[in-house]
Amino acid sequence: MVNLLNKFCLFIGYAYSGSTITGNIIDMHPNIKIAKQFDVLKFMRDSKGDTRKKIINKISNGKQYEMIGTKAGHKTLKHLFGYGEDLMRFKYYVGMKMYYIHIIRNPFDNISSWTNNVTKRDKRHGRILLPDEHLTNIRIIHYDKLNEMINNLKSDENIYSFYLENLISNPDEEIKKLFNYLEIDVSNKTIDKIIKVLYKKPTEPRLKYKFTENQTRQINNIIQRYEWLKGYKL
């Protein structure tokens, strides 16, 4: 059997941005396998021996694919903060053409969803709960740093910006554009299958969340600094 595997897809971005639905979309293609929560850069650092083979086996489970990848976009960027050489090392180890997907949603939705879910997680684990305002301030700082890292990566890599709201409002076109970037042919049958699992409208937690005036100003400043965020508003 000829091994067709020659492409690797990394998600980069933010928690609660839409990486799960995007990963599921790509994974529905019969020639692609996207690992759900596989921290591949940490795995690489901790691995010994034939790292490339271990990564492939971990994701593909012994099956043949044209492309594999991982959707742990937030974790990927967090590792790149502290270990600048990780991406270069990873590209060397896997020896495949790299594709990067930057998933974007309204920053106000992203940050409010992030805060809400962290609070829910802390409640489940019985942790001391931080006030929402304090937690949101932390998320805003983190969100800004993630965008700064993405901006640095964009100077060296061909990163595809994938907007969650556009996917939901115009799924057929956005799905075709996504697979075109991945250089993978996609059939109308697969596109129809994907569209059936999409939700009809985006969740908008920002509409119920009470941002302070200072938080709103900070987020608007971030939106103005990064080209891929311009046009978003509360």
Write the CB contacts of 160 (distance below 8 Å, at least 6 apart in sequence).
99, 100, 101, 102, 178, 181
Return the pLDDT at 38.
84
Whether pLDDT at 230 is above 70? yes
> pLDDT tens across 69-111, in order?
998 756 666 666 555 577 788 888 888 999 999 999 999 999 9
Whether pLDDT at 64 is above 50? yes
When the pLDDT of each residue in the chain is averaged and rounded to a whole number, the result is 86
Return the pLDDT at 78.
62
> pLDDT tens across 20-37, in order?
889 999 999 999 999 987
Q: In this structure, are residues 206 and 109 in contact, taking their beta carbons and an 8 Å threshold?
A: yes
Copy the structure tokens of residue 160: 């595809």
Return the pLDDT at 176.
96
- Look up residue 230 and give its amino acid: K
Count of alpha carbons within 13 angstroms of residue 161, beta-carbon side: 15
Domain boundaries, the chain: 7-229
Residue whose C-alpha is closest to residue 165's, from 217, 232, 215, 73: 232
More confident residue, 203 or 65: 65
Residue whose C-alpha is closest to residue 90's, from 57, 33, 47: 47
Q: In this structure, are residues 91 and 10 in contact, taking their beta carbons and an 8 Å threshold?
A: no
Whether pLDDT at 218 is above 90? yes
Task: State the residue for tokens 């949603």.
Answer: 105
Q: Which CATH architecture has domain 7-229?
A: 3-Layer(aba) Sandwich (3.40)
- Look up residue 197 and give its amino acid: V
Helix (H) or strand (E) segment spanning residue 78:
helix 73-82
Return the pLDDT at 205.
87
Instruction: Classify residue 102 by burial, with Cβ atoms within 10 Å: 0-12, 13-18, 19+.
Output: buried
> pLDDT tens across 108-161, in order?
999 998 888 767 776 676 666 667 788 899 899 989 988 998 898 888 889 999
DSSP letters spanning 1-70: ------EEEEEES-TTSSHHHHHHHHHTSTTEEEESS--HHHHHHH--S-HHHHHHHHHHTT---SEEEE
